[in-house]
């Protein structure tokens, strides 16, 4: 059987990433994270585009080198079409088109959120269709019924902020550097998750809302800092542990309802926030308690990466689902 070797490109936000997959196995997975945004406390879109442009050739070269293959061995180029920052996406798309055109090989468009979900197929024991996926990232929070590699039904989603945003903005209020999610995770390990109480939100059955809990953290900081100016510094670990625990509770309560409703037994998580250590532990425990099969991508495939674009591209290649040179990015 002929090998299927795919170059995958991801440039939707602030990570410039390239991967090489052969027959669905990762040969190289290179991610260059743009640290320059840290001093602004968030991603600056124009800066992200410029950095992608500076990095992309080097990142692709590194992926080819790591995989020990030549360009001529590639069968297709897969790239993130959206959603994402328009200028950032355009760099990846232009590069992918030029590369595919130069080599005379097909192009494959990939939906970034579908790719996060399909990162679960990089595992030795992938989920069985249909399965339910809790997709949690910096821009999205969704409960998705995954019917096959392309047909995915969104059962519920956030009506305001994504949970990754709630982590990042909460961290910012606490004076932690960007991106705050991993910092909250780290601090929470030494804290008491019962020390402070945060509210849940009233939403439709499978929907999420994180604006209320953010405001509640802000009010707690403002009120308590008036009484004690060192309140945040003295309570950092407890604040992180309590805030994180409530975010996770909100995620898992909706997930539980969706599992009951769909009656599926294969359950997955995906997206940057699925790198959170406490969420991973609680998710596995919940699945064990209920006799569900838990699926979590390996740590390196949770946050933005190109291997997930490659695996989504691999299945599109098998289905003969190719794009033409007119493919344009989408932002939402």
Residues at the interface with Zn ion (CB under 5 A)? 137, 304
Distance of alpha carbon 202 from its chain centroid, rounded? Answer: 25
- Closest contact distance (angstroms) between CB of 85 and ligand KG4 is 11
Residue 164 found at the interface with ligand KG4 (CB under 6 A)? yes
The answer to whether 185 contacts ligand KG4 (rule: CB under 6 A) is yes
Among 139, 191, 297, 329, binds ligand KG4 (CB under 6 A): 139
Report d(CA 228, CA 28) in Å as an integer.
51
Q: Which residue is nearest to ligand KG4 (CB)?
A: 272
Instruction: Note the Cα 189 to chain centre separation in Å.
Output: 22
Tokens representing 305? 């990466």
Helix boundaries (H) for 3-44: none
What are the φ and ψ backbone dihedral angles of 201, each rounded to 5 degrees? -115, 150
Choose, by CB under 6 A, the member of 92, 170, 182, 329 that binds ligand KG4.
182
How far apart (Å, rounded) are the C-alpha atoms in residues 224 and 228? 6
Residue 217 touching ligand KG4 (CB under 6 A): no
Using CB distances below 5 to 8 A depending on partner kind, what does residue 92 bind out of Zn ion, ligand KG4, none? none
Nearer to Zn ion, 137 or 158 (CB): 137
DSSP three-state, residue 229: coil
In angstroms, the CA 55 to CA 229 distance is 43
When asked if residue 115 is in the footprint of ligand KG4 (CB under 6 A), the reply is: no
CB of 116 to ligand KG4, least distance (A): 6
Q: Report the C-alpha gap between 46 and 209 in whole angstroms.
A: 29
Give 295's strand partners. Answer: 268
Site string for ligand KG4, 193-212 (x = CB under 6 A): --------------------
Q: What angle do CA 160, 162, 164 make, to 5 degrees?
A: 150
Do residues 181 and 210 make contact, with C-beta atoms less than 8 angstroms apart?
A: no
Residue 297 DSSP one-character state: -
- Does position 92 interact with ligand KG4 (CB under 6 A)? The reply is no
Q: List residues bridging with 20 in a β-sheet.
A: 7, 28
Mask 1-30, x = binds ligand KG4 (CB under 6 A)? ------------x-----------------
Q: How far is the CB of 171 from Zn ion (least distance, A)?
A: 18
Asked if residue 158 binds ligand KG4 (CB under 6 A), the reply is no
- Check residue 138 for interaction with ligand KG4 (CB under 6 A): yes
- The least CB distance from residue 112 to Zn ion, in Å, is 6
Which of Zn ion, ligand KG4, none is residue 182 near (CB under 5 to 8 Å by kind)? ligand KG4
- Give the Cα separation of 31 and 34 in Å (integer): 10
Binding residues (CB under 6 A) for ligand KG4: these are 13, 137-139, 164, 167-168, 179-182, 185, 271-273, 275-276, 303-304
């Amino acid at each position: 059987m002929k090998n299927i070797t795919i170059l995958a490109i991801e440039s939707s936000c602030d990570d410039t990433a390239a991967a090489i997959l052969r027959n669905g196995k990762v040969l190289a997975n290179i991610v260059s994270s743009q640290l320059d945004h840290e001093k602004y406390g968030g991603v600056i879109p124009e800066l992200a585009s410029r950095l992608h442009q500076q990095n992309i050739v080097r990142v692709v070269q590194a992926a080819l080198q790591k995989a020990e293959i030549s360009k001529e061995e590639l069968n297709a180029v897969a790239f993130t079409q959206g959603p994402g920052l328009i200028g950032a996406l355009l760099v990846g798309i232009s590069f992918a088109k030029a590369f595919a055109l130069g080599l005379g090989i097909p192009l494959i468009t990939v939906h970034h959120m579908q790719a996060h979900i399909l990162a679960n197929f990089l595992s030795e024991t992938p989920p069985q269709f249909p399965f339910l996926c809790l997709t949690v990232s910096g821009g999205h929070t969704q409960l998705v019924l995954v019917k096959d590699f392309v047909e995915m039904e969104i059962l519920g989603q956030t009506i305001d902020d994504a949970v990754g945003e709630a982590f990042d903005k909460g961290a910012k209020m606490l004076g932690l550097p960007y991106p705050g999610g991993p910092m909250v995770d780290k601090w929470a390990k030494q804290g008491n998750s019962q020390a402070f109480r945060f509210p849940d939100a009233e939403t439709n059955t499978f929907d999420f809302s994180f604006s209320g809990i953010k405001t509640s953290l802000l009010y707690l900081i403002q009120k308590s800092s008036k009484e004690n100016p060192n309140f945040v510094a003295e309570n950092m670990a407890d604040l992180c542990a309590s805030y994180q625990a409530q975010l996770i509770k909100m995620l898992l309560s909706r997930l539980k309802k969706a599992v009951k409703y769909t009656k599926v037994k294969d359950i997955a998580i995906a997206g940057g926030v699925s790198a959170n250590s406490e969420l991973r532990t609680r998710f596995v425990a919940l699945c064990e308690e209920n006799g569900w099969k838990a699926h979590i991508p390996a740590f390196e495939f949770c946050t933005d990466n190109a291997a997930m674009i490659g695996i989504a591209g691999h299945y599109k290649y098998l289905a003969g689902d190719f794009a033409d040179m007119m493919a344009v990015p989408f932002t939402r």
